[in-house]
Structure 1
């Protein structure tokens, strides 16, 4: 819990000023109900995700470690972990968009109609536990060092907060390689021509390779969210994946997903 408290405090001190000084879009803050809901995702959901991911990883992955990468120097392990984890992130992310029963859980993350750094925490525990396990599988099984995994985990967490933040930020020529807020905001866009695009976490290489890149320079979408109108309520978010829906984005595997 202490780690979660420090995360939200530091994230607020870092990203709130950036969103005020360099806003991608001049949008309202969304009201206290939205903030309250996302803070419950931070603390209640965060604790469930940490416990569930650790339990699943210990049960499914650690017994099969083969200890082949452990002898590599750390400066080689870190980029190798980044590339492997980002590939698995793309695959897991694509899977959760393509399979209707998985989309029901991932849709909670996409129901935010306002994107800022807090929206990064709006995730269903089932979504994140399964995703995290898939992403970690290769690097855990290959025996990468705890130090390399820790460096990646920290970089991933803070990069994810940046990607969801309402910040207009360009890395210059590196925009073609490294994910930026503009790149990820289009993944959350509520318009059909943006569906099923920009699945990468840190890198754009997999979207380029697999034909899912939606590159629109430094522009940002006008609207975010999903067709399913979910209330700004944490309990509703936890229950929604288990409630039958009439929306085609949930029930029809041929319909465009988010």
Structure 2
């Protein structure tokens, strides 16, 4: 068991990201239905849950706190809406005068890499703004209300905040004609990455933590302290955090009891209550 635990600690992050993303690129590139990406996402969730039990970062975070069903509902709604938004890409592209600028002659995986880098900039900046502008923070606070971190709650967001981040990340890409295949893979890549950011796995990624925004870096962002947690906003990379001056690494990462919202420990826990929370005048300090 100790050998398996070691393999998970060192191999989970790269194999999870490259394995599932590689499978997605292969399926889409072979002309298979994009519905296969939904099946791959279900398999990824199962793989993350298994890895969390083999090599947990915090064993207590594997215990349900009455939040698993709620997080599943958040994930279902958000991923369904993401899939529906991808379906509108051809329609949007038809109205973009610069739509012919996208390099659709490049290999599919290179196009995806480019889309990830561009989207990472917009999503990171929207995330950064969400900690500084009250209307956005009220939406984003839903995600920060979690009291444990595990892969599934990476998909737990207020749907309106997800829409804000999606628009910020994809608008530049849509303007230049992002193809439907790449858009679908980008959405899949984002779902895979947010699970890696929140996975309750004792990941050992070495120097990659300096450039890759996975759990060892992102856990700092979920500190309940508004000042200590105001760091590491990036989705895929740490590039934009470095430019913003908000990247940290090397300090002790949060443990149980240190994540959440310090200004509002009684944040609503139910799904419907969380959807309504941003529209009620509550003190949810960032």
- How high is the TM-score relative to the length of structure 2? 0.76
1:18 aligns with 2:55: no
Shift of 1:28: 4.2
Shift of 1:54: 5.1
Residue 215 of structure 2: aligned partner: 181
Shift of 1:124: 0.7
Q: Deviations over 1:173-215 (max 9, x none)?
A: 2221111211111111112442321010110111111101121
Q: In structure 1, the residue corresponding to 2:59 is in which secondary structure?
A: coil
- The 2-side partners of 1:113 and 1:23 are apart by 16
- Picking from 32, 39, 51, the partner of 2:72 is 39
Residue 241 of structure 2: aligned partner: 207
Q: 1:137 to 1:17 in 2, by over 3 A?
A: same
Shift of 1:119: 1.0
Unaligned segments of structure 2, at least 5 residues: 1-34
Q: Deviations over 1:143-180 (max 9, x none)?
A: 23333333333222112111111111122222211112
- The 1-side partners of 2:101 and 2:42 are apart by 38
- The 2-side partners of 1:242 and 1:46 are apart by 23
Structure 1, 238-247 or 108-117: larger mean CA deviation: 238-247
Q: Deviations over 1:80-109 (max 9, x none)?
A: 212111111111111222110111011001
- Picking from 42, 57, 60, the partner of 1:27 is 60
Q: Deviations over 1:122-144 (max 9, x none)?
A: 11111011211111111111123
Residue 64 of structure 1: aligned partner: 96
Q: 1:58 to 1:9 in 2, by over 3 A?
A: closer
Unaligned segments of structure 1, at least 5 residues: 250-256
| Contact 1:110–1:225 (CA under 8 A) maintained in structure 2 | yes
- How high is the TM-score relative to the length of structure 1? 0.84
CA RMSD of aligned residues (A): 2.6
Residue 113 of structure 1: aligned partner: 147
Shift of 1:49: 5.0
- The 1-side partners of 2:172 and 2:44 are apart by 29
1:96 aligns with 2:133: no
- The 2-side partners of 1:69 and 1:46 are apart by 25
Residue 224 of structure 1: aligned partner: 259
